[in-house]
Amino acid sequence: METFLHLNRWLHIVAGFTGFFVAPLALAVRKGGSAHRFWGRIFFWAMLVAGTTAIVSASLNGLTFLLLTGIFSLYLAQFGYRSLYHKRMGLDQQAQPYDWGVVTLGLLLFAGTLAYGLFSRPFNPVPLVFGAIGLMTTIRQVRSYLLPGPWPAGQWLRNHISGFVGSYIAAVSAFSVTSLKFIPFPLNFLWPTLVFVPVLIWMQRRYRPLAA
């Protein structure tokens, strides 16, 4: 077991740092080009490995913060990647069983996270923030799947940006908590959200014309 935990830890560190440095590369190159797709795939798989290993480590060691960020990062990474297959939603394309299964699981997980934040004693704002953001994301997904007619122009692109940037925020949050010990709680958890959410909003507005 000790060898497994050691291997899991190093795999998590390598995947996390890969995603940490690759994400800016995917954002810096031309969107939709081969380099963007290449770095985007690496980021997705890095977040997949980092999120999975985080959940394993958190489950075995009772680390609530790592469990939350692992689930959050994993869900948003798949949300961002899956959105690439939703370009014709409402036209000749509808949500698939996979989409409904994942969004249902997300609703349950994030509702539970939000409830944990609301009723935890002493009060802990971290699961409250992460649960609320995750729950809002999944509720918007459900509404979009049920909406008759085609999606608004560029909705798949805004989902793609939200998913990948959100996953990056979760990864930076985990790094901050584990490595930046000089930042007090709960700011060590929440500063990446405060810094990168405005960037996310700007990006969605900046690239909206590309989706028309």
Domain that holds residue 186: 64-211
Length of the chain: 212
Please determine, for residue 211, whether its predicted confidence score (pLDDT) is greater than 60. Answer: no
Ramachandran assignment for 102, one of left (phi > 0), alpha (psi -120 to 50 degrees), beta (any other): alpha
8 A C-beta contact, residue 81 and residue 74: no
At 212 the pLDDT is: 40
Which residues fall within 8 angstroms of residue 212, CB to CB, at 6 or more apart? 153, 154
pLDDT at position 130: 84
Domain count, the chain: 1
pLDDT at 207: 65
* Residue 100 binned pLDDT confidence (cut-offs 50, 70, 90): very high
Sign of the dihedral defined by the CA atoms of residues 16, 18, 20, 22, in that order:
negative
Angstrom CA distances, 145 to 49, 73, 82, 120, 186, stand at: 28, 22, 13, 33, 35
pLDDT in tens, 26-48: 877 877 788 888 998 999 999 99
pLDDT tier, 209 (very low <50, low <70, confident <90, very high otherwise): very low
- The better pLDDT of the pair 46, 147 is held by 46
Q: Which pTM was predicted?
A: 0.84
- Domain-located, residue 4: no
